[in-house]
Amino acid sequence: MSTSVISAESMPRTRAASRGAIELRSVSKNYGDVVAVDRLDLVVQPGEFVTLLGPSGSGKTTTMMMVAGFEEHSAGSVLIDGQPVDTLPPRERNLGVVFQNYALFPHMSALENVEFALRMRKIPKNERRKRAEEALDRVGLGKMGSRKPRQLSGGQQQRVALARALVFNPAALLLDEPMAALDKRLREQMQEEIKTLQKSLGISVLFVTHDQDEAMAMSDRIVVMKDGKIVQSGPPEEVYNQPLTDWVASFLGDTNLIPCTVLERNGAEALVDLGGLGTARVADRGVEGENYAISIRPEHLKFRSAGEGGNGGAATLVSSTNLGATVRHRLTAGGQELQLRELSPDSAGRPAPGGQGFVGWDSGRAQLLVLES
């Protein structure tokens, strides 16, 4: 495993907890007749890492650009630390921004790129050189300040962009898919390093990505967007394990969706009819709609021995695929196609391909949600 180049010892003390709040109040963005962002309300608390997650065209990057001041909103208001910034240009909002392409000046060295943010703020030469060198040290590039961007790897260029965004001590940091161009191993390393840096500085982060794994790994809170609106917001584990709709469940990972009829609702639990899979008691967050389904993640579905009881029923194993770290099984049960994922290829109760066995899930693992599709 790669060793992080960002060390806790190199960090300044955590900033005051009152800085870095971002608030959007009924913010909209229209391009002619097209509504890109629709009356969006969002608060990022000081020191919080919030991720805007959604498919292309969901409005997440437009939202970030309105916070940064690079896009003018059509309605609503943007506030930083409680103060409206609607009329302020980007450089006066005191926000650090890292773009997907890093936007480094190719004719400048790494050190000069970091210094540029301070030059724009009229910081004296000696002070800005000292602060730029400290910022490069902070991200593990203290000995590479003389190199031009073309002489740096993708990960090193990203660190330069990060140092430039942090060198002027911004109120908050905005990250627009900054790891999209990196390979998987380097991307995972940079995720850990950015999270370490963010926690050590105590800085607020608004992060944009369409990568679900990245959002799960880095966020304090995930805000799922679709068609310019927020469709669900909460801690990663909550959004993943308790999706409100079939769209959220399917977008954030894989899931089994089984249409159902609600027979009764009692607080946090509902009794549902699953057709060929019988009845089951499932977790209920009080969602309301015309059609319902239950969501069961593939890793929460288990092979069971005959007569074990509980939720579930008879199933036919269609195929098994070894994915290295896990084994994916495809089954049919009660007229439904299901996916089951497990760590071991030798679990008890698993039938041979084409054979019949039993599958089920533990209480609370199935969630009642609204079926939108």
pLDDT (tens digit per residue) in 213-272 = 999 999 999 999 999 999 999 999 999 999 999 999 999 989 999 999 999 999 899 999
Judged against a pLDDT cut of 80, whether residue 344 lies above it is answered with: no
Judged against a pLDDT cut of 60, whether residue 353 lies above it is answered with: yes
> 3-state SS of the chain: helix, strand, coil percent to 5?
25, 35, 40
User: Could you tell me which of 194, 176, 239 has the C-alpha nearest to residue 212?
Assistant: 239
Per-residue confidence (pLDDT) for residue 9, from 0 to 100: 45
pLDDT (tens digit per residue) in 278-288 = 899 999 999 99
Per-residue confidence (pLDDT) for residue 347, from 0 to 100: 66
- Was domain 246-370 assigned CATH 2.40.50.140? yes
Give the start-to-end residue ranges of the domains of the chain.
8-240, 246-370
As a whole number of angstroms, the distance between CA 60 and CA 159 comes to: 23
* CB distance 340 to 329 below 8 Å: yes
Identical fold between 8-240 and 246-370 = no
pLDDT (tens digit per residue) in 94-142 = 999 998 887 899 999 999 999 998 988 889 988 999 999 999 998 888 8
Give the CATH superfamily of 8-240.
Answer: P-loop containing nucleotide triphosphate hydrolases (3.40.50.300)
Q: How high is the mean pLDDT of the chain?
A: 89
Q: Give Cα separations from 303 to 344, 364, 368 (angstroms).
A: 12, 17, 22
Question: Mean per-residue pLDDT for 331-342?
Answer: 93
* CB distance 350 to 317 below 8 Å: yes
Per-residue confidence (pLDDT) for residue 346, from 0 to 100: 64
Phi, then psi, of 147 in degrees rounded to 5: -80, 145
What's the pTM value of the predicted model, to 2 decimals? 0.87
At 8, is the pLDDT very low, low, confident or very high (cuts 50, 70, 90)? Answer: very low
